[in-house]
Amino acid sequence: MDNQLQSISKFFTERLFRIPDYQRGYAWTEKQLKEFWNDIEQLDDAKNHYVGVLTLESVPKHITEKWEEDTWIIEKKNYETLYIVDGQQRLTTVIILIQALIESIENSQMLNYTTLGDIKKKFIYESIDNGISRSYIFGYEKDNPSYEYLKNNIFLETSIGGYSNEVTIYTHNLEKAKLFFEEKLKDLSIQQKEVIYRKITQNLLFNIYTISDDIDVFVAFETMNNRGKPLTNLELLKNRLIYLSTKLNCKEDDKKILRKIINDGWKGVYHYLGVNKDNPLNDDRFLIVHRDLFFGKEIFNEENKYKRYRYYRYHEENEDFLLEDKFNLKNITDLDPLDVVSLIKTYVESLQQSVIVWNNLNNPLLNNGFDEDEKIYLDKINRLEDRDILRLLLVVYQKKVSKSLKIKLLKKIEQISFLSFLTSWRFKIEEINFHEYSYKIYNDDVKILEFYDIVEQKINTILNHPEFIEKVIEFFNESNFYNWRGIRYFLYEYEHSLYKKSKTQKGKLDWVNFKEEKRDFITVEHIFPQTVNHDCWKKNFSSYSLKQRRILNNSLGNLLPLSKPKNSSLQNKCFKDKIDGKTEYVGFRFGSYSENEITKYTDWTPETIKERGIKLLKFMEKRWGLDFKDDEIRLKILNLDFLK
């Protein structure tokens, strides 16, 4: 191995850099970008900064011969061609920042006595006599979706070959990185930009290693990428499968075809995982779900049938099974090479088919192939955030099932999931194991219509159980509604019912913001506050004991979903101030539909908490097919017996 310490300016000399097909795409997020920018800002002008290792591999001639756009610069100008085995995240970040610097100044300006044309020629592309033939100094291999995205959206170059603007999680990250640097640079003077340019090209030092031919680059890739932002198991698995394809004792043409299948497969997987940039899907979560179905017979054998411990160990379980137990060189050595080719091909094709369905299930409102009821109930099920259910639906939506049966099943699944919120299975009724049934349905051991009947029977058993209401009362009396794990789902559903009745037909509550609370900010308001600092509350509540006030405070009728997160200290305001609001916060009058509904009250008292609580329970009964009989029982569920 060569070992040198060099600046970017030095090693970007008569070299072409490419990110090979087994590498992941650009994975840095805002966290890593901020750290990188802070390093540059804090770097003393007179000092260098060690960035890390850049590991390179010479690209074989039989591969560069296929690089038609680069033939002229390789042959005529003798440019060296190198794969980036390790360090591509940092190097990509530097190139994006250089491009952002170029765009941030006028064409007539210079950076450190260097024209923009010369900067582009050194770091972005070279062309023949300033013509249309261009060779990009840094980029991806051509089959990678990021190849065209980098050229078109980052370098702002026009693609010759009908670019389809294909997006993935990685292309979203490239876009975000450029926007990040554009924002940082927009208010800097030309002198400040020159300092940034000098630091990143002269003062950032890489340790340069060039891998020799006797080192297996795929093994090196896995070992080296334990640093920095960790590789996901999906990224590691792609590298592993390509590695195995090179080791098979079969025809070279078969190896090439298999490698293309793997690359095309992963291209499709990352496209569908990232196609909705507002909701990028977790790749390891998808890998877990698919693994449990595709290799279910091996994972859930008779000895450990349907054990769930593997399911909860998210990161380790994929490494243990896919990378160590299934796809490793030792395990495939004794197998027929054609059987291995067939296994990998079938597995990759299954991943491709499943990820399309997975994307549709996780983004139902964007799918025009779903009926309106399907969209509504899939959206609700997504808010339940139960991976076992989504695993089961991944199977259901890959089977031939009528639309009507799918919709009926979705409604029953949502209903029984809500019932689990109410009781947490506190009486002796066996819970439906969605994890187990997904595997059974996948292998046709249970038909979907049979499963529908099982769910329906289970719901009837729960609702007709003689202890059902008693256990609901017990559950909420031991705990409270504010700490109930179903509170946000319930309040959102009530808000949605008000939205459907409104004339404006405009939603005011965003689930993504509503479901999470940031430090010192709340999304569910205690109308009667937890801490009483004003006399306006004491006149209505001082006659009750401390225990009763706490029950009232956390009672269902006292909880309100906010359209926008509010500083928790503002909860202590008087009721009138909460309704009208101030400049520092949005009042109920201008908030969610649930907030608007509260404004009809002139005062907030224990009686209004009771009244609203009973109203919300009646909505619950109608929405999920319950029957709490009368207001006396409803008061017991609310734990407000003392208000009789």
What letter would DSSP give residue 525? E
SS3 for 534-583 is CHHHHHHHCCCCHHHHHHHHCCHHHEEEEEEEEEHHHHHCCHHHHHHCEC
What amino acid occupies position 590? F
Positive or negative: CA dihedral 55, 57, 63, 66: positive
**Residue linked to tokens 């439906």:** 432
CB 518 within 8 A of CB 532: no
Model confidence, pTM? 0.78
Positive or negative: CA dihedral 279, 283, 284, 286: positive
Burial class (CB in 10 A: 0-12, 13-18, 19+), 305: exposed
Q: Which two tokens stand for residue 429?
A: 């009724």
CA 46 from centroid of its chain's CA atoms: 41
Mean pLDDT by 10 residues, the chain (644 residues): 75 91 86 93 85 86 87 91 89 95 92 92 85 84 83 82 71 94 94 94 87 55 54 86 87 89 90 89 91 83 50 46 84 84 94 96 92 95 92 95 95 94 68 87 94 95 91 91 95 94 84 84 92 86 93 96 86 88 82 94 95 97 96 96 88
Please count the helices (runs of H) and the strands (runs of E) in the chain: 32, 12
Pairing of strands 125-127, 114-115: unpaired
CA distance 632 to 628: 9
Radius of gyration of the chain (CA): 30
Write out the E strands in 197-326.
204-211
Q: Which residues on neighbouring strands pair with residue 208, listed in sequence order? A: 4, 54
| DSSP element (H, E) containing 326 | none
Q: Which two tokens stand for residue 453?
A: 């009947």
Task: Kindly report the length of the chain.
Answer: 644
- For 239, 345, 451, the CA distances from 234, given in Å and listed in that order, are 9, 16, 31
CA distance 73 to 50: 31
In sequence order, the 6+-apart residues with CB closer than 8 A to the CB of 573 are 529, 534
pLDDT score for 9: 92
CA 67 from centroid of its chain's CA atoms: 35
- For 59, 126, 622, the CA distances from 495, given in Å and listed in that order, are 59, 58, 15
